[in-house]
Structures are given as structure tokens and as C-alpha cells.
Amino acid sequence: MTPQPLWQARHTRLVLILSITVGIALAVGLTLMGLSQNVTYFYAPTDIVAAQEKLLKEQKPIRLGGLVEKGSIVHGKRDATEITFVVTDLKETVTVHYKGITPDLFREGQGVVAQGTLSAPGEFTATMLLAKHDEKYMPPEVAKALEKNKVK
């Protein structure tokens, strides 16, 4: 067996290093692309009102969080699982339509996070509702939005 010339050994190492680098870059790119498609962004009602044209156009799932406005819960006349209510961050409001069983702790004046899409300006269609799990808990995103929009 004759030894390979020096340039061939360097060439082989360079090709190996470049192949590994391209493979890692491809794996990272595919991972980031997959993760970005599964991200659900959180919006307060003020954020939704400000970006509603963009959100209506994209129709991507988002999370809406805030307080259920007192006196706003209306149950469907034909179907007991249909419910409409208003979510507020003390500055703006968004009407939410939901069909399904509501969480046990869902009620007026309490924090809620609804996942779904914006169906019309100021109208949100929820596919999932999340309610607080004890008397003092407030989802961090909702607490931040309420603090930011606190009436002075």
C-alpha cells in the first residue's frame, strides 16, 4: 500500500469537516423551522386590537389572556357548551366565542387564557380555555398585561 500524497489527505479531512458542518447546520435549521411552526404567541386584548389586521390575515393560533369581564358570560341557547364572554386587560376588550366544556374555575372577574384565532375584528374563536388553578394564581403573562394597563 502506497501512502497518499499530502494534498489528498488534507482534501479528505476538509471534505469531512465541511460535510459535518453542513449536516449540523441543516439539523439546526430544520429544528428551528419545526419549533417556529409550533409556537403560540401570547396577546393581551390591547395587543390584539393593535395588531388585528395582521392577525386576521395570518390566522395563526394565538393565546389571548386577561380577565373575564363581569356580566359578560352568555351561554348558547341551542347548545349548553357554547359560551360567549368578554376578556379585558382593563384597557381594551375582545369578545371570545368558545364551544366546549369550560374549566371548573372559569368565572367572571377571574384570569383566563384562551387559545384560538381571531375570527373578525374584536372577535376571538377559542379552541381551548385555561383558568387559574387557585384563588391567588394569575398566569404571568396576564398579570404583566394587567399591570401594564392598570387604570391610574
Q: What are 121-149's pLDDT values in tens digits? A: 889 999 999 886 555 556 677 777 777 76
Q: What is the pLDDT of residue 35?
A: 75
Q: Tell me: pLDDT of 7 over 80.
A: no
pTM: 0.66
Q: What is the pLDDT of residue 152?
A: 43
> What is the band of 90 on the pLDDT scale with cuts at 50, 70, 90?
confident
Domain ranges of the chain: 1-39, 41-148
Q: Tell me: pLDDT of 5 over 70.
A: no
Q: What is the pLDDT of residue 150?
A: 65
Output the nine-digit C-alpha cell for 148: 401594564
Q: What are 33-46's pLDDT values in tens digits? A: 887 766 667 888 98
Output the nine-digit C-alpha cell for 115: 387559545
Q: What is the pLDDT of residue 105?
A: 83
What average pLDDT does the chain have? 83
Tell me if 44 sits within 8 A of 145, measured CB to CB.
Answer: yes
Beta-strand ranges (E) seen in the chain are 41-43, 62-68, 74-75, 82-88, 93-99, 111-120, 123-131
The domain at 41-148 falls in which architecture? Beta Barrel (2.40)
What are the percentages of helix, strand and coil residues in the chain, rounded to 5?
A: 35, 30, 35
- Please tell me what DSSP assigns to residue 72: -
